[in-house]
Amino acid sequence: MDEKSFDHAVKRALRELPDEFRKLIDNVEIDVRDEPDAEMKKKLAPRGELLGLYQGVPLVQRGIYYSSMPDRVLLFRGPIHRICRDQDEVVMQIKATLIHEIGHYFGLKENEMPR
């Protein structure tokens, strides 16, 4: 899948999130990169592929006076392509990865994520 199609699939996945969640997402950038940097990979996925990453302070940890730069959800094009067999699988993995990383924004831990 080329970059333009991948980016379009990310935007579509974001639009397709349930309204009750999408309406609560505020000040979050969705950023697509080709690959995670070496340090991210070493720290977060030393034996596998890092598909996405949430960077920020989860909503449940914010105080009343919280203010900062936008939170960020990173999706990594290369790793997603490498684990998928075809374009349909890439689209499904984009959705799954986006939902997973947004789950972190809402404060879910790894073991609390939907499967």
Confidence check: pLDDT of 108 > 70? yes
Confidence check: pLDDT of 115 > 70? no
Q: Which two tokens stand for residue 19?
A: 């309204």
Distance of CA 31 to CAs 50, 62, 85, 95, 107, Å?
14, 22, 23, 14, 20
Instruction: Tell me how far apart the alpha carbons of residues 90 and 51 are, in angstroms, rounded to a whole number.
Output: 11
Which of 32, 29, 70 shows the shortest CA–CA distance to 51? 32
Which amino acid does the sequence have at 39?
Answer: E
Give 50-101 pLDDT, tens digit per residue: 999 999 988 777 777 777 778 999 999 999 999 999 999 999 999 999 999 9
In degrees and rounded to multiples of 5, residue 66 shows phi and psi of: -60, 135
Residue 11 sits in which domain range?
A: 3-62+70-112
Confidence check: pLDDT of 11 > 70? yes
* Residues whose CB falls within 8 Å of the CB of residue 6, separated by 6 or more in sequence, listed in order: 32, 77, 80, 90, 94
Domain of 51, CATH number, reads 3.30.2010.20
Give 23-36 pLDDT, tens digit per residue: 989 889 999 999 99
Per-residue pLDDT, 109:
85
Number of domains forming the structure of the chain: 1
Instruction: Tell me how far apart the alpha carbons of residues 87 and 68 are, in angstroms, rounded to a whole number.
Output: 37
